[in-house]
Amino acid sequence: MSARRVRIEQFDQDILVEDGDTILSSALAAGIDYPFLCQQGQCGSCKSYLISGSVDLGSFYNPMVLTEHERSRGLILACQAQPLEDCVVSVAELDGEVSHVVREITCSVVAVAHPASDITVIQLRNDSGQPFIFSAGQYAHLTFPGLPAREYSMANRPDVDLLEFHIRHLPGGRVSSYAATELAAGTAVTLRGPFGTAYLREEHLGPILLGAAGSGLAPIQSIAETALANGLKQRLHLYFGVRDRPNLYQQERLAELARRYSNLSITVALSEPSGAHDLRVGHLSSVIAADFDDLTDYHVYLAGPPAFCEAAQGVVLERGVTPASCFMDPFVTNK
C-alpha cells in the first residue's frame, strides 16, 4: 500500500491518499471541510483544479459535469480522482463563491493594438508553467518593466489561453502612456491575480443587463462571451458607452456575437458626439434609464469609471434590482 501526498491550496493542508482512495474521501476522513454533494461524479460540487501532479480521473462521472474541455484545462472531480503521484489541487468554489488562489505569474506580450483613439488592447501569453485561473469579470495587477502595478480586467473568456486587457490612455498616466506609445510584443509582464467579486453568476435564471463605459468593456466582453458560450439562454442586454466615435472599439467583435446569439442585444451610446452617426446619444446611465422601467429579477454588471458605476447603480436600484444582484468593481485610476 502506498500513499500520495496531496496539497489542498485553500485549506493550506496536506493529506495522504492511499491507493484506491479518492482525494475527496481522504480529505473528508482527514476532517477537511471539502465541498461535496453527490460523491458520484454527478454534481460538480467538488470540482477542483489540478495545479501539479497527475491523477486517474475515474470512470464514473457525468461528462456534462466535467466536460472534455474542462478536463483539458486541468479540472478534476475530487470525488473520482485518484492521485498517481504527489499533487497540488485547488478547490474551484467554496460556499457558492469562486475561490481562486491569487498567483503571481510571468507573461509576455504577444500582440499590441490601438483600436480606438484612447485604447490599447494587449494580449499576453502565460509563460509561468502555472495555470492562471479566474472567472469572467475579474481583474489582475499588471506590472510592466520599471513601472508601478496597475489594475486591469481580463477581457477574454477564462477558457481561452491568451489573456486580453484593454488599457485606456489617461493624459499624464505613466503606465497608460507607456502602453500607448512604447509597449511592444515580446515585453515581459508580471501578472498578479485574480481579484474582484463582479464575476459572472451563471446560476442566475433571469435576464441580464451589462453596462460598460470606456475600457469597462473589457470585463463586460468577457462576461458576455462566457455567458453565451456556456449556453445561457436568457436575454442579455449589453450597453456600451463612450464619448465620441473615435473612442469606439470592438464593434465588429460585438456585432458578430449578436449575429450568433439571438438572445444578445447591443446598444451603443455616445455622450459627446461630433459629426453624423446613427447611435444613441447621452450618458450611458441615462440611456439605460430611458430604456427600462422595471428591472426586477435582473442581474446587472457594471464596469467603468466610478462616476458611471455610481450613476448606473442608482438607476438600476430604482428600477427594482436588489443590491445583491448588482455587480461592479469600479475602475480607480492612478496617474
Q: Does 207 bind other proteins (CB under 8 A)?
A: yes
What is the pattern of x (binds other proteins, CB under 8 A) and - over residues 175-194?
--------------------
Classify the C-alpha dihedral 181-177-307-142 as positive or negative: positive
Least distance from other proteins to the Cβ atom of residue 197, Å:
14
| 37 part of the interface to other proteins, by CB under 8 A | yes
Closest CA to 137 of 218, 72, 202, 234: 218
Give the shortest CB-244-to-other proteins separation in angstroms.
35
CA angle 114, 119, 122 (to 5 degrees): 65
Taking residues 65 to 104 in sequence order and writing x for each that binds other proteins by CB under 8 A, - otherwise, the string is x---------------------------x-xx--------
Choose the stretch contacting other proteins; rule: CB under 8 A; options: 44-52, 117-125, 142-150, 280-288.
44-52
Interface pick for other proteins out of 3, 11, 16, 42 (rule CB under 8 A) = 42
Residues 235-294 that bind other proteins (CB under 8 A): 235, 263
Q: Provide the CA 19 distance to its chain's centre, in angstroms.
A: 37
Among 22, 48, 82, 250, binds other proteins (CB under 8 A): 22
130 touches other proteins (CB under 8 A): no
For residue 109, give the amino acid letter.
V
Q: Which of 62, 117, 251, 267 binds other proteins (CB under 8 A)?
A: 62
The reply to whether 323 sits near other proteins by the rule CB under 8 A is no
Q: With beta carbons less than 8 A apart as the criterion, state whether 183 and 112 touch.
A: yes
Part of the chain binding other proteins (CB under 8 A), chosen from 181-189, 203-211, 244-252, 308-316? 203-211
Rounded (5°) CA angle 281-286-289: 125
Establish if 11 lies at the interface with other proteins (CB under 8 A). no
| Alpha-carbon radius of gyration of the chain | 22
Minimum Å gap between C-beta 39 and other proteins is: 6
Binding segment (CB under 8 A) for other proteins, from list 28-36, 137-145, 147-155, 243-251: 28-36
Residue whose grid cell is 469597462 = 216
Which of 5, 11, 18, 39 is the binder for other proteins (CB under 8 A)? Answer: 39
Per CB under 8 A, 45 contacts other proteins = yes
Q: Summarize as ranges the residues that interact with other proteins (CB under 8 A).
A: 22, 25, 28-29, 33, 35-45, 47, 60, 62, 64-65, 93, 95-96, 201-207, 231-235, 263, 296-299
